[in-house]
Structure 1
Amino acid sequence: MISPAEIIKILEKIDLGAGVAENDIMLYEARVETPVFNGLFRDRYDLVSGPKGSGKTALYRLVSEFLKPVMLKTSNTAILTGVEASGDPVFLAFRKNFEGLNELEFENFWRVYIVALINEHFVKNSEFSEQLAKARVEAKDFQDRCRRACIPELTDSRSFREIAQLALKTIKLNILSISNSPSGESISALTIEPCQPNEKSKNESTSSPIFLHDIHSSLLRLLKAANLRLWILLDRLDEVFPRRTKLERTALRALLRTTRNFPSQDIRIKLFIRDDIFENVLLKGEGFTALSHIESRRAPSLRWSAEDLKILIIKRFCQDPRVRQFCGGNKQLISENDAPHLKRVFDRLFPKQVVRGKNQSTTLDWLYHHCEDGRGVVTPRDIIDLLAAAITKQIEHIRKDGINEESLLGSQALKEGLRELSSKKRRTYLEAEFPEFWPHMSKFEHTKAEHNAHSLESLLGSKWNIIVDDLVAIGFLQKRPRSSSYIIPFVFRFGMGIKQGKAFNGFHK
């Protein structure tokens, strides 16, 4: 058996990567190729949705950073990103400007932003000069049409922020002259007539949509001449607009509409968006034309099974050769997802049970169900955060008590890791993400985990059922399928000081 001092050395060197994909240095090496990953790679999906922490930005980074050269070489697909992979989201700097836009103006913003992005980061990008050498005439035609549509070029820097600033300036300062539509013609087929900004236009925003038919057609000719396809990726939209507000709904409805202005299979706008935001954007009784087209290219919401998470855990632990030696891990068998081998490795990393007992769950099931929110969602981010905290706790226990476990991590360290995760979820999810609901959620502090109509009315007042619907939607509460009660998931309990048991003792059921 390895000595406690040697176990500490192994634990101290373990790096599980970051729970936040923007900072995850082992994203590619420890990737789990889920069906959504494979479907995105094969261009089956344009809309990737999932809960916070479920891996949307990880997919964004895998495609935009690691697969970008592969796709250019193997499938003639040029990939553009519309946002930074890390740091402040580019659009966040313009939140006050966005507050004054209606849905039509937002559509104009997204259209100009995407066209300007293509011009600055594709047509003028030396990275694609070899392919575009065959399409110089078509490239010039595309740029000429952009200029006639009053979409100016940047002369020096081509940062995302400056492109966004350019797009805002264009829609606010130019009145575009739109050609009359023949009877019965779809408005998306209208063309942009040359516009001449005047003094009046400097103080008025456009009240007409900017149409892209001519620019779009010119771009298609350019791509055909260059023998290329074009993907434009947009992520981190959930960090820009205040949650569950009219501004968020207006901006993202306009973005979804804008994707319909690029209907060719040679141009794909691929969006990575939280599923609760996506549902909030659409399901407000306002209607949404062409929803069936958007849904047809939407990936299944990112969900991780217990087996998927087991693979993720093993791949991240076994990036370290010392851990592989400790648990007998074989890189080839792990990469092939060999089930018997994965089970042996997992059972060497962790105890068979966190809570011992004949009817208690296995460690994998314990991890899964204790990280599960009220919607039944478990995210890689939460699993990584829990295990990273457990590693720190395990080192502390060994140094203090000199314990020597058969597994690399012990059950007590895992329980304490859950407590750390729960406290973090309170700060970074419940309070930070949903400030409008926090006054309601805070009333559950230091209560019991299970509630019924009477205890909920006592806590929340006569409109408790309306409030509860929102708390269920964000995963803070879960409706029990075989009763009329609601339960607070394990992952939120410690951070809120909530104990196991029923809060309605003394109330009628």
Structure 2
Amino acid sequence: MKARQILVGCDFGEDVADYDLELSQYFVETSSFLDVIHDRADLILGEKGSGKSAIFRHIAHSSDGIAPLRNVHVIPAFNTRGSVVFKNLSAHDNLPEEVLRTVWFTYLIALAVNHLANLYPKSGGRQISRLLKKYGLHSAQSDAQGIWAKIKRILEALNAQVEAEGELKFDPGSIPVSLGIRGKLSRLTGNGSEGGIDSILDACIAVLLETGTRCWIVFDRLDEAFYDNPDLEAVALRSLLRAHLDLASHQSPLKSKLFLRSEILERVTVGRGFVNATHLRRQYLKWDRPSIVALIARRIMARPDVADSLNLEYGLLRNQDGRLKVCGAVLPPRIDHQTLADWFENCTTDGRGALNPRNAITLLKQARAIQLEHYDRDDPEYVPGRPLIHWLPIRQGLQKLSVMRMEDTVLAERPDLRPLLRLMQAKPARMTRDQLSAILRPAAEKGASFEQALQSLLDSGLIASGANPNILTVPELYRHALKLTIHRSSGSELDVDEVSSMQVSADAACRRVLKCGITQYILDADDVQRHVISDHVRANYPELSATEHRVRSTGFRAVGVRSKEPTMTINGRLVLRTDDPAQFDDAEILTMEASVISAFEEATSRRASTFTPKLPLALRTQVNDWSSILRRKLGGSVGFVADLQDTGGRFRAQFAPDIPGVDISAQEKNVRNENAIQELKSYLEAACIEVINSGDVARIRPLGDASRSKAEEILSTFPVKVSTETTKRGHTVLRVSSEATN
């Protein structure tokens, strides 16, 4: 079967719950969801894309299949399509918070009672219908739009009275305004047996108790209602929260549930005071790595034909190991040397650090589309065990996600940040507060202080502040959208695409070191690129190290990717350098290395002065200047070093009685001078041990005065004698012998 055919069927579902008709098939029951359905929370908080709407849709459309909700009427207090009905509150922003509190409370009761009057016409339905009609709250259309139309008329009447009388007085315990049958505006005191909102609420509770049911009035999409009017948002949501607490105080089977963005709650309550805030039963939606894995695995298994093609059983979803196996059939188990879940956590979260299932699904959908484009060109067969989506489309999908979230989340909600983001473009991804202050100085000159700008960026998740508050970092999620550079050196910069290219080269080199047993692999790199490679290796390949140095024979800057624990322990090291790490495949490198090692070991065993590895002709012609590539890099036992020379198509390694020295003087200005000294010390220690054990003589060749001085200082700590000699080639060496031989 073709890989493309399988991937076409694996579409990962929709990333917006409102449009996902198959949500119930792969809904993930997190601990937050369980708290909601067991009525342990009323205020469900989360970031955008954290799954608030998904929970609402699941409990609203699948309540019959959820055991704790089988006797619960879930009534949406909002319209799921089109502009949010509450948005027209903007026409009544002159009403005080206390008035809106009673309006919201009236709306909650009207929603529940209209629903119950239609559902149970014989169980108290007549009484509540009569009350609704008396107060002008009865609606043939009992959904949110129909009931809000009644509330809208109340709001208009209140506005009219404010304009006519200049003030509004009413009893908070009553319905503020009633529109009689003839449209006459009147005030309801609520003191009579049927004169207030409490009488309607009591009738509603009686119906619920008689029928043995409960009723939840659920709010969502509140972030869409007042995003363009922060003052109204604060008043409207605070009054809604107070109405919610009013209803909760009755401890009845009728409750309201509010799904709200956590940052909006902070915005409307922090600094303004909110009495009884501790009475709000809150539940923060949080996702961890196992939950993200479960989300992806369920969406893969949602299509039986895809599961069959991949030879996956549904029972794999029962435990984490099985879910990882499902994910591994479609996605690479590791990306950038991180586990799949770790990579998603590091790359799809904003500066606030919360895992976001919407971002994960959006990225996968983008990666799938890119992979399908590749399959359209190549159309390969599916190979069991090989992921359907490769790592490169996933990285490219991250770039698309970065641009999307910048546009549809950050700038859509905070267009005022656009001038700041323009200033941050093509700047470092990691900076100090002073550096960011200098970058944003043009904005500060126009009126916005740096502290205000910084707080806006932090609140929007565009930057993160870690344990060190002086260091600020732009999260991976937004780096591509901002075209950020990773490092700057001597005025040079790398854009995101160049950085990605260097990381690909580093990945290729690291894979060769790990798979082929090569103990070191050197990549050509300029001053800026070497930092990118080193950081990438250190971050993603903990079993390897990256050392930066200048190659003396050619003068280029390089990065040596080295195994901390070499898998190949012969009498030395093999170092390869090439401008294109993809020049050889793994089999060619193994063939070449085996030939070199075999010849070297044979020569070492017979203490021959030369050896000739048998290299394939293709490798001889593809590698530029083998002499400079391998010179002084095939170290033998102590006292020997291989010098590989080009002899017209044949390659001969000649041993010289020297130990490779380390040029300390050439690295005096290098921050890694300590590493060079440590390397020299290890050479000298090995030489001294060999000399002491064998009674032989070793010759150390320092490459500068500083190296010689340092070598003599280190050698003085060992029980050996040191003198100076000049070799036939004219090199000055240190002659090391044991005290016994002299």
TM-score range, shorter chain: 0.7 to 0.9
* Shift, 1:402, TM fit: 5.5
Q: Is 1:58–2:67 an aligned residue pair?
A: no
RMSD: 3.2
SS of the residue 1:230 aligns to: strand
The residue aligned with 2:104 is 110
Preserved CA contact (<8 Å) 2:11 2:368: no
In the superposition, relative to structure 1, how do residues 255 and 399 fare at CA in structure 2: closer, same or farther (>3 Å)? Answer: same
TM-score normalised by the chain length of structure 2:
0.59
Q: Which residue of 1 aligns with 2:22?
A: 26
**What is the DSSP-based 3-state SS (H/G/I as helix, E as strand, rest coil) of the residue aligned with 1:437?**
helix
- From 143, 147, 152, the counterpart of 1:168: 152
After superposition, where does 1:39-54 map in structure 2 within 5 Å?
39-54=35-50
Alignment of 1:164-313 (within 5 A): 164-173=148-157, 190=173, 212-242=197-227, 245-263=230-248, 264-283=251-270, 285-294=271-280, 297-299=281-283, 301-313=284-296
From 71, 74, 86, the counterpart of 2:81: 86
Residue 183 of structure 1: aligned partner: none
SS of the equivalent of 2:246 reads coil
Deviation of the 1:170 alpha carbon: 1.6
1:452 corresponds to: 432
**Residues 171 and 206 in structure 1, CA contact (< 8 A), matched pair in contact too:** no
1:260 aligned partner, one-letter code: L
Check if 1:477 corresponds to 2:463: yes
Among candidates 346, 358, 378, match of residue 327 of structure 2? 346
**Per-residue deviation, 1:60:** 0.4
CA distance in 1, matches of 2:418, 2:155: 37
Q: Give unpaired runs (5+ residues) of structure 1.
A: 180-186
Task: Please name the residue that 1:370 is paired with.
Answer: 347
Q: Distance in 2 between matches of 1:483 and 1:96?
A: 39
**Partner Cα distance (2:267, 2:488) in 1:** 32
Distance in 1 (alpha carbons) for counterparts of 2:183 and 2:355: 54
How many correspondences in the alignment?
Answer: 469
Distance 1:329 1:383, change over 3 A: same
State the secondary structure of the residue aligned to 1:43: coil
AA aligned to 1:259 is H
How many Å apart are 1:317 and its aligned residue?
A: 1.2
Structure number with the higher strand fraction is 2
* Counterpart pick for 1:122 among 91, 116, 119: 116
- CA spacing shift, 1:495–1:213, aligned 2, 3 Å: same
AA aligned opposite 2:145 = R
Corresponding residue of 1:321: 304
Give the residue type in structure 2 aligned to 1:344. K
Whole-angstrom CA distance in 2 between matches of 1:261 and 1:490: 44
1:430 to 410, 413, 429: 410
Deviation at 1:191, TM superposition (A): 5.1
Is the CA contact (8 Å cut-off) linking 2:71 and 2:214 kept in structure 1? yes
Aligned AA for 2:323? L
- The correspondence for 2:33, drawn from 26, 30, 37, is 37
Which letter does structure 2 place at the counterpart of 1:298?
R
Cα distance between partner residues in 2 of 1:382 and 1:481: 25
Q: Measure how far apart 1:159 and its partner are.
A: 4.5
Corresponding position of 2:536:
none
Larger radius of gyration: 2
Letter in 1 for 2:8: E
Shift of 1:107: 1.4
CA–CA distance in structure 2, aligned partners of residues 305 and 112 of structure 1 = 39
Higher deviation after alignment, 192-201 or 454-463: 192-201
User: Which string of whole-angstrom CA distances, capped at 9 and with x for unpartnered residues, describes residues 147-178 of structure 1?
Assistant: 55x34323x44452232121021244267986
Contact 1:30–1:316 (8 Å) recurs in 2: yes
Alignment CA distance shift 1:395-1:171 (3 Å):
closer
CA, structure 1 residues 495+226, in 2 after alignment: closer, same or farther (shift >3 Å)?
same
- From 373, 379, 400, the counterpart of 2:356: 379
CA distance in 2, matches of 1:69, 1:123: 25
**Paired residue secondary structure (1:351):** coil
Decide whether aligned partners of structure 1 residues 198 and 22 sit closer, same or farther in structure 2, where only a CA change above 3 A counts.
Answer: closer
State whether residues 91 and 161 of structure 1, in contact with CA within 8 Å, keep that contact through their aligned partners in structure 2: no
Whether the 8 Å CA contact 1:454–1:504 is kept in 2: the answer is: no
2:338 is equivalent to residue 361 of structure 1: yes
Give unpaired runs (5+ residues) of structure 2.
162-167, 493-742
Structure 1: distance between partners of 2:403 and 2:78: 31
1:99 aligns with 2:99: no
Measure, in 1, the Cα distance between the counterparts of 2:422 and 2:21.
Answer: 36
Taking a change above 3 Å as real, the CA distance of residues 347 and 89 of structure 1, as seen in their structure-2 partners, is same
Q: 1:226 to 1:452 in 2, by over 3 A?
A: same
Q: Distance in 2 between matches of 1:370 and 1:445?
A: 19
Q: 2:398 aligns with which of 384, 403, 418?
A: 418
| Whole-angstrom distance in 2 between the partners of 1:14 and 1:361 | 24
Amino acid at match of 1:380: P
Helix, strand or coil for the counterpart of 1:412? helix
Q: Indicate conservation of the 8 Å contact 1:216/1:262, yes or no.
A: no
